């Protein structure tokens, strides 16, 4: 739609500004008196030539390798221009030299307009065609990014589901009285995954509530040896963030930082201020991950961040002493 508006503005600029000013350079006053038919024919020819070029879009035909059609069009237009130079001149009493000079001037004028309109039209059409090619490439890249994001999210959901089912399975085997509460919380998490997570972006309030439900579910299987702290602050709870972008880091904190017989702690901090999201996790290192078989969660999360926020995020993960630290800034 914007391209159509730009094309319309350019056509109006040519028809109402450029051409009238150019025509005024001609001896219009004399031609109106002595050769009105030629002047009107010339004006009609110039505007018709312009719209023929705009209609056919020669640069597009060139990119499509339709060289024969281009050659036929140019030959036809050149022939029409040549025929216009033989337009009858008014019979006036003048010597042959003056008549030849007027004829030469008229011929030069006709070819000047032909070359000017041709050059202007080619420049405009070439610019538009290059612009369309750029937009097409951007659209293709955007669709590829969407496809990649959909793939990563499709992989993240089963990954999370598998980990959570392990938690429920452990509660069932142990006969814990927390099992019923765990299933209630799990149903809330499933609702989020298959309703909210279908949207590419959700509010920070919804994302935090999801993380809160997940941590509450994990607490049900933990004992007094593991202390979990979750703090969340936001100056605008309706700020949009990518869905399920933070849960992977929280999952890993519980996966590698909890123990049934060793004191450990998990700290999760989420802060949104002035459009900047800071997310930090610090957890004890109870068990080490298998470096030879890295999980898809962190890898997918990095890829999503790169696709959604190229050059606008900072992600740092490191182990300090017996603590594993994750820092994410968007």
Residue 129: domain span: 2-138
The pLDDT value given to residue 292: 41
pLDDT above 60: residue 211: yes
Name every residue whose Cβ is closer than 8 Å to that of residue 125 and which is 6 or more positions away in sequence.
53, 54, 57, 58, 59, 60
In terms of average pLDDT, the best of 92-106, 131-145, 231-245 is: 231-245
Residue 134 lies in a domain: yes
Q: Is the dihedral of CA 57, 112, 116, 14 positive or negative?
A: negative
One domain, residues 325 and 185: yes
HEC letters along 20-80: HHHHCCCCHHHHHHHCHHHHHHHHHHHHHHHHHHHHHCHHHHHHCCCHHHHHHHHHHHHHH
Name every residue whose Cβ is closer than 8 Å to that of residue 10 and which is 6 or more positions away in sequence.
124
Residue 32 lies in a domain: yes
Q: What would the two tokens of residue 251 be?
A: 């999952």
Average pLDDT of the chain is 79
CATH code of residue 228:
3.30.565.10
The pLDDT value given to residue 150: 59
The pLDDT value given to residue 119: 86
Mark which of 78, 111, 138 sits at the end of a domain.
138
Residue 292 lies in a domain: yes
pTM over 0.75? The answer is: no
Residue 146 lies in a domain: no
Residue 161 lies in a domain: no
28 vs 267, more confident: 267
One domain, residues 113 and 180: no
Mark which of 113, 138, 163 sits at the end of a domain.
138
Q: Quick one: which H or E segment has residue 288?
A: none
- 209: closest CA among 225, 198, 193, 223? 193
pLDDT in tens, 75-132: 988 898 888 888 877 665 556 777 677 778 888 888 888 888 888 888 888 887 777 7
- Domain count of the chain? 2
- 85, 118 Cβ separation under 8 angstroms: no
Numbers of helices and strands, H then E, in the chain? 11, 7
d(CA 32, CA 23): 12
Alpha helix (H) ranges present in 57-178?
Answer: 58-63, 67-84, 96-174
d(CA 106, CA 297): 76
- 111: closest CA among 84, 141, 73? 84
Across residues 33-38, what is the average pLDDT? Answer: 77
Residue 193 lies in a domain: yes
One domain, residues 19 and 132: yes
């Amino acid at each position: 739609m914007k391209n159509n508006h730009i094309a319309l503005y350019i056509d109006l600029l040519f028809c109402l500004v450029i051409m009238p000013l150019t025509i005024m350079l001609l001896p219009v006053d004399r031609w109106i008196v002595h050769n009105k038919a030629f002047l009107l024919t010339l004006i009609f020819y110039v505007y018709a030539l312009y719209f023929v070029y705009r209609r056919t879009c020669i640069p597009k035909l060139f990119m499509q390798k339709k060289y024969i059609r281009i050659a036929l069009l140019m030959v036809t237009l050149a022939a029409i221009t040549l025929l216009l130079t033989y337009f009858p001149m008014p019979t006036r009493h003048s010597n042959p030299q003056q008549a030849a000079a007027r004829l030469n001037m008229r011929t030069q004028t006709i070819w000047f307009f032909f070359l000017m309109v041709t050059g202007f039209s080619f420049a405009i059409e070439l610019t538009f065609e290059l612009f369309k090619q750029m937009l097409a490439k951007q659209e293709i890249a955007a669709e590829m990014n969407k496809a990649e994001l959909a793939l990563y999210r499709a992989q993240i959901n089963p990954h999370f589901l598998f980990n959570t089912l392990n938690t429920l399975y452990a509660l069932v085997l142990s006969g814990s009285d927390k099992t019923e509460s765990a299933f209630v919380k799990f149903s809330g998490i499933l609702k989020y995954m298959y309703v909210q997570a279908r949207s590419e972006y959700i509010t920070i309030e919804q994302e935090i509530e999801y993380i809160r439900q997940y941590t509450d579910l994990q607490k049900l299987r933990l004992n007094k040896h593991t202390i979990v702290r979750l703090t969340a602050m936001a100056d605008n709870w309706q700020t949009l963030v990518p869905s399920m972008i933070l849960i992977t880091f929280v999952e890993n904190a519980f996966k590698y930082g909890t123990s049934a017989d060793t004191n450990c702690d998990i700290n999760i901090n989420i802060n949104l201020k002035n459009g900047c999201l800071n997310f930090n996790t610090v957890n004890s290192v109870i068990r080490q991950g298998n470096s030879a078989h890295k999980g898809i969660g962190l890898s997918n999360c990095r890829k999503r961040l790169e696709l959604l926020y190229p050059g606008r995020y900072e992600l740092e993960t490191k182990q300090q002493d017996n603590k594993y630290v994750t820092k994410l800034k968007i």
